[in-house]
Amino acid sequence: MHSDQQSSWFLRCAAWSGLGFLHLPILVVALYAFNTETSAFSFPLKGFTLHWFSDAFARDDMLTSAWLSIKVATLATLLALILGTLAAAALYRRNFFGKESITLVLILPIALPGIITGIALLSAFKIANVAPGFWTIAIGHATFCVVIVYNNVVARLRRTSLSLIEASMDLGADGWQTFRHVVLPQIATALLAGAILSFALSFLST
């Protein structure tokens, strides 16, 4: 019992140390936004001010960029929710030739460096004579957001009992009613998690 307590204590310390290592630099950078000193890297902080925030929000280019990021992230998230959910529903139940290849194609954009995916998409748009713009940005972001939604939804579907779906169909429900009343409540939290992560990733990447 004593050994289990030591292991649990060690794991908690390791977990908190990892979180601190990841988030402490972000906290330090965030504190610079409230520094009264004009020098970007003066530490310790000389004072507290909100002046830099008012300056940022007073700039039209800043507000335009933020609004563009919100629109791109929203559209990319919607596309990812639709495509990721459909892909998960199509792949989670059946084993067929080429399934692993399709899964690899879905997951590949998140595994590759962003610059590689960006160059590949730009080349594809150029070949198709599509001018870069808002829609191409949203489609590009959706390519890696689909992976997040797909992974969340397919993991939840694998834990969903098929007997619930079969019972719904036996009771006379059609496909849409089964999805709305049985499947959707089961995957709702996975969709929410995927949407939040996709929006955040797309917003920060714009």
Encode 36-63 in three state secondary structure: CCCCCCCCCCCCECCHHHHHHHCCHHHH
Strand segments, DSSP code E, in the chain are none
- Please tell me the predicted confidence (pLDDT) of residue 61: 83
Which parts of the chain register pLDDT below 70?
1-7, 37-43
Task: Please report the sign of the dihedral spanned by the C-alpha atoms of residue 187, residue 117, residue 202, residue 68.
Answer: negative
- Please tell me the predicted confidence (pLDDT) of residue 192: 93
For the entire predicted model, the pTM comes to 0.74
Rg of the chain (C-alpha set): 23
Tokens linked to 85: 């959910």
C-beta atoms surrounding 191 within 10 Å: 17
Q: pLDDT, tens digit, for every residue of 114-154?
A: 788 888 888 888 888 888 888 998 988 998 889 999 989 98
